[in-house]
Amino acid sequence: DDGVSSSLFQNPSKLHLTLGTLVLLNEQEIQKACDLLQRCKEDFVDQIAGGKPLTVEVAGVEYMNDDPAMTDVLYAKVHMKDGSDRLQLIADQLVERFVASGLMLKEWDRVKLHATVMNTLFRKDPSAEERNNTMTGKSSFKERESFNGRNILKLFENFYFGEVQLDSVRLSQRFSSDASGYYATSGQL
């Protein structure tokens, strides 16, 4: 298909669900974010999760923009296996708390639960996210080279990727890797 190449795929070691982006400029802000994350655990995360990992299913794909022939981001859909909205509740409440603290800017009314599978930012360079402006979180590239995602969407519309146990919330550092290949972590629940 037009514009599709292996360079578009997310590194499997870095698959994740993004709840939001924080711009933490110093150790004090990182500590403030870690402390807030811990308070969220005590205030609502443990209660909603029931003290256990959440079992989610990853199935089907969708795209972020209006035209599937001009796709920039293709993602796998994520939902709770038990059909509940517990993951959505946790995600939305975490973002609400971080916005209220001033550590995060409000972008949407609710978190879009998804796992990015393909992204045209990766086309330039597998570590293309490193070239994003860390102050705004926006790409520094003027134009992305979109791909035609229609066939992928047709073929994988209902593809079952599998089941995952979500057992942590992390403050991950962009442009970094730890020994496992995942993002280096500043703090986690």
- The model's pTM is 0.84
Q: What is the pLDDT along the chain (189 residues), one digit of tens a residue?
A: 789 999 999 999 999 999 999 989 999 999 999 999 999 999 999 999 999 999 999 999 999 988 999 999 999 999 999 999 999 999 999 999 999 999 999 888 899 999 999 999 888 655 554 444 444 444 444 478 999 999 999 999 999 999 999 999 999 988 788 889 888 889 898
| 1 occurs within a structural domain | no
| 50 occurs within a structural domain | yes
Q: Can you say how many angstroms the Cα of residue 148 is from the centroid of all Cα atoms in its chain?
A: 22
Domain that holds residue 68: 6-188
The number of domains in the chain is 1
| 47 occurs within a structural domain | yes
In this structure, what CATH number is given to the domain that contains residue 51?
3.90.1140.10
